[in-house]
Amino acid sequence: MQTSLSLQYPFILASNSPRRKEILRSAGFEFAVLPSDVDESFSADMRPQEVPVHLAERKANELARISPNALVLAADTVVILGNDILNKPQDKSEAIYMLQQLSGKTHEVVTGIALHTPQGLFTKADSALVKFRTFEDWEIDFYVREGSCLDKAGSYGVQDFLGMVGIESIQGSFYTVMGLPIFDVYQFMKPYILDGKQLLIR
């Protein structure tokens, strides 16, 4: 049975994403889940790579107003093809179209994180390049039919069927593509881990 890290403050994840919860738990964190309900619109003039941190910061700040003495972690992931952001598809037809656009190409995945602490706000973005092989039409149809594509940016999950059989290479962190760059999260959280401080004292 995995033990959990002891933290100086209560820890809140501002997301109901199963992937982000899985990554945090696997890394040893215990946390409460309180999804943010902020407006996720952004200026058309904003560079696509700046959008994830902007949205993550907005989510973290919103929940920090409710819980100012907690560690509030928010994240946002975008899939960028060329200069276009591929958001979550509205329906299966749009998912098929997105996956056809991604087929055989390299795209960028950027996940932004924002950690609001009693000492201030910390933000960072991490980027990875994902290369897809060319898909056959039936592979896209098979994946989309199951439906999990509808809650994912770019219409796919790196840990799902199309990610597992279709990704030729990833330049960067697998966890960034999955939705949470846990290396960066851990660096932000490290000062608040009581276990680590006790180990240093011994």
Residue 130 lies in a domain: yes
Residue 105 lies in a domain: yes
Pick 1 or 142 by higher pLDDT.
Answer: 142
pLDDT at 170: 98
pLDDT over 80 at 41, yes or no: no
| pTM, two decimal places | 0.91
Mark whether 84 is an active-site residue: no
Taking alpha carbons only, the member of 9, 16, 55, 8 closest to residue 33 is 16
pLDDT at 37: 80
pLDDT at 202: 39
Residue 110 lies in a domain: yes
Residue 127 lies in a domain: yes
pLDDT at 196: 58
Average pLDDT of the chain is 93
Which one is catalytic: 76, 91, 126, 195?
A: 76
* CA–CA dist 202, 44 (Å, integer): 53
pLDDT at 3: 81
* CA–CA dist 84, 116 (Å, integer): 29
DSSP string, the chain: ------BSS-EEES---HHHHHHHHHTT---EE----------TTS-GGGHHHHHHHHHHHHHHHH-TTSEEEEEEEEEEETTEEE---SSHHHHHHHHHHHTTSEEEEEEEEEEEETTEEEEEEEEEEEEEPPPPHHHHHHHHHH-GGGGSGGG--TTSHHHHHHEEEEES-HHHHHT--HHHHHHHHGGGBHHHHHHHH-
Q: What is the pLDDT of residues 127-148, one digit of tens each?
A: 999 999 999 999 999 999 988 8
Cα angle at 151 between 146 and 152, to 5 degrees?
100
- The total domain count for the chain is 1
Pick 28 or 44 by higher pLDDT.
Answer: 28
Percentage with pLDDT > 70 across the chain: 95
pLDDT at 45: 85
pLDDT over 80 at 25, yes or no: yes
pLDDT at 44: 80
pLDDT at 199: 47
Q: What is the pLDDT of residues 93-136, one digit of tens each?
A: 999 999 999 999 999 999 999 999 999 999 999 999 999 999 99
Mean pLDDT across the stretch 36-65?
Answer: 89
Residue 5 lies in a domain: no
Residue 112 lies in a domain: yes
Residue 179 lies in a domain: yes
Instruction: Tell me if 132 sits within 8 A of 104, measured CB to CB.
Output: yes
Domain that holds residue 128: 11-201
Residue 1 lies in a domain: no
C-alpha 162: how far from chain center: 18
CATH number at residue 61: 3.90.950.10
pLDDT over 60 at 201, yes or no: no
